[in-house]
Chain A
Amino acid sequence: MAEYSTPTSEQEFHANFAQLKPRMNASEALFESSRCLFCFDAPCIQACPSGIDIPQFIRQINSGNDTGAARTIYEANYFGNACGKVCPTEVLCEGACVYNLQDVKPIEIGRLQSFATRKAIEEEKPLMQAGIPNGRKVAIVGAGPAGISAACELRALGYEVDVFEAKDQPSGLTVYGVAPYKITNEEVLAEMAYLQKQFGYSVQYNSPITSQADLQALEEGYDAIFLGIGLGRTNALLLPGEERENCVGAVEFIEQLRMNHHATTVGRKVIVLGGGNTAMDAASESSRLGADSVILAYRRGKEDMGAYEFEYDLAKGVGVKGLFNVAPVEIVGNGKVEGVKFIRTALHEGQVQTVPGSEFVEPCDMVIKATGQAKQTHFLSLIGGLKTDGKGRIVADERTGQTTNPQYFTSGDARNGGAEVVNAAAEAKAAARGIHEYLSRK
Chain B
Amino acid sequence: MPDLSINFAGIKSPNPFWLASAPPTNSGYQVMKAFDAGWGGAVWKTLGVPVVNVSSRYGSVNYRDKRMMGFNNIELISDRPLSDNLREIEEVKKRFPNHAVIASLMVQSRQEWHDIVRQSQEAGADGIELNFGCPHGMCERGMGSAVGQEPEVLQTIVEWVMEVAKIPVIVKLTPNISDITEPAMAARRGGADAISLINTIQSIVGVDLDLFAPYPIVDGKGSNGGYCGPAVKPIALNMLKNCAQHPDVRLPISGIGGIETWRDAVEHILLGASSVQVCTAAMHYGFGIIREMTSGLEQYMVDKGFNTIYDFVGKALPNVLHWEDLNMKYKVTANIHEEKCIGCQLCYTACEDGAHQAIKLNAGTRVPEIIEANCVGCNLCSLVCPVEDCITMDRKDDGTAHVTWKERTEANDIPTEFNDEKAGGRHHWVPEPAAALGKEKHKTLPGKARQFEKVTVTQEVTE
Contact = CB atoms under 8 A, between A and B. Distances in A.
Nearest to A158: B457
A51 B449 contact: yes
Contact of B450 (A38, A76, A136): A76
Interface string A93-109: 00000110110000000
B443 A53 contact: no
Contacts of B462: 135
20 contacts: A30-B65, A34-B66, A38-B346, A40-B348, A41-B443, A48-B447, A50-B449, A51-B446, A51-B449, A52-B449, A76-B449, A77-B449, A98-B343, A135-B463, A157-B455, A157-B457, A158-B457, A430-B449, A433-B455, A440-B459
Contact of B386 (A56, A102, A426): A102
Contacts of A50: 447-449
Contacts of B448: 45, 50-51, 76, 426
B461 interface: yes
Contacts of B447: 45, 48, 50-54, 76
Interface string A284-327: 00000000000000000000000000000000000000000000
Nearest to B447: A51
Contacts of B443: 40-41
A436 interface: yes
Contacts of B387: 102
Contacts of B444: 40-41
Given A34-B64, A40-B344, A135 B449 contact: no
B65 A426 contact: no
Interface in A102-155: 102, 131-136
Contacts of B245: none
A136 to B, nearest CB: 7
A369 interface: no
Contacts of A62: 64
Interface in A173-207: none
B449 A37 contact: no
A429 interface: yes
A50 B451 CA distance: 11
Given A43-B366, A62-B64, A101 B459 contact: no
Given A39-B346, A62-B64, A101-B342, A134 B449 contact: no
Given A40-B444, A99-B342, 8 more contacts: A33-B65, A37-B346, A43-B366, A76-B448, A135-B461, A157-B455, A157-B457, A439-B459
Contacts of A99: 342
A292 B459 CA distance: 63
Interface string B362-388: 000010000000000000000000110
A219 interface: no
B446 to A, nearest CB: 4
Interface string B384-424: 00110000000000000000000000000000000000000
Interface residues of B, number: 32
B107 to A, nearest CB: 45
Contacts of A252: none
A37 B455 contact: no
B457 A132 contact: yes
A37 B386 contact: yes
Interface string B21-53: 000000000000000000000000000000000
Contacts of A132: 457, 461
A98 B343 CA distance: 6
A426 B451 CA distance: 12
A136 B349 CA distance: 45
Contacts of B109: none
Contacts of B461: 132-135
Contacts of B446: 51, 53, 56, 72, 75-76
Interface string B129-162: 0000000000000000000000000000000000
Nearest to A153: B452
Contacts of A131: 457
Contacts of B65: 30-31, 33-34
Contacts of B450: 51, 53, 75-76
A95 to B, nearest CB: 14
A43 B343 CA distance: 9
Contacts of B344: 37, 39-40, 98
Contacts of A133: 461
A433 B452 contact: yes
B459 A134 contact: yes
Interface in B435-461: 440, 443-444, 446-452, 455, 457-461
Contacts of B345: 39-41
A145 B448 CA distance: 18
A43 B447 CA distance: 11
A136 B66 CA distance: 53
Given A48-B447, A52-B447, A75-B446, A134 B457 contact: yes
